Amino acid sequence: MEKELNRTVVVIILIVVCCCKMLSQIKTDTVNLGKNSIVFFYPQKSKISITNYEEGFFKDICCIEDTALIGLHYGSMVAIPLIGRKDNNIISEYILANDLRQTRGFYIFNGKKKYFREDNVYKYGFSLYYTNVSEEKIGFYEMLLNSLKYMVGEIGGSR
């Protein structure tokens, strides 16, 4: 009985340590989208590139440790979906009342599966996606995109 209790305590401690380590590797960003804004998370070790154009912008976050890419697009005059479908295998596609489309899939690169996800939020005119993610890191990048918060009428971020 005591051994089982000790094992349970050790497992709980390992889970807490892993969660703390994961949270220490994350940055938070607030981005203005017109009069609204979104808050999302991305890996600490990353390089950001912003490309502005007349109707909007692209914000690309290159994740240094695993070469994944997180992208945010706001604006118009861009073909949606942003991630091409030609040589990709679609795992799932979810559409909610013409307001949201979420697509998940993978492609083969150098003999390895690389995963992507793209969320097109038509109602508010933005898309958020990740691509080039290894199978081991899917849970981490899913958590990043799932944690997005949209704030109507709140300004105070960056691009």
Q: Mean pLDDT over all residues of the chain?
A: 82
The CATH number of the domain holding residue 57 is 3.40.1000
State residue 34's pLDDT score.
82
For residue 79, being part of any structural domain is answered with yes
For residue 34, being part of any structural domain is answered with yes
Could you give the C-alpha distances from 80 to 32, 43, 58, 108, 111, in angstroms and in order? 21, 25, 13, 22, 28
Residues 6+ apart with CB under 8 A from 152: 36
Say whether pLDDT at 158 is over 70. no
For the chain, what is the domain count? 1
Say whether pLDDT at 22 is over 70. no
Q: Looking at residues 114-124, what average pLDDT do you find? A: 89
For residue 98, being part of any structural domain is answered with yes
75 touches 55 (CB < 8 A): yes
Residues 6+ apart with CB under 8 A from 48: 59, 60, 61, 62
For 23-35, write each residue's pLDDT tens digit: 448 999 888 888 8
Give the DSSP letter of residue 147.
T
Say whether pLDDT at 101 is over 50. yes
For 70-82, write each residue's pLDDT tens digit: 999 998 877 677 7
For residue 159, being part of any structural domain is answered with no
28 touches 36 (CB < 8 A): no
For residue 105, being part of any structural domain is answered with yes
For residue 46, being part of any structural domain is answered with yes
For 42-85, write each residue's pLDDT tens digit: 999 999 999 999 889 999 999 998 889 999 999 887 767 777 77
For residue 85, being part of any structural domain is answered with yes
For residue 99, being part of any structural domain is answered with yes
List the domain range (segments joined by +) for residue 123: 27-151
Token reading at 52? 């502005």
Q: What's this model's pTM, rounded to 2 decimal places?
A: 0.75
For 121-145, write each residue's pLDDT tens digit: 888 888 999 999 999 999 999 999 8
Q: How many helices (H) and strands (E) does the chain have?
A: 2, 10
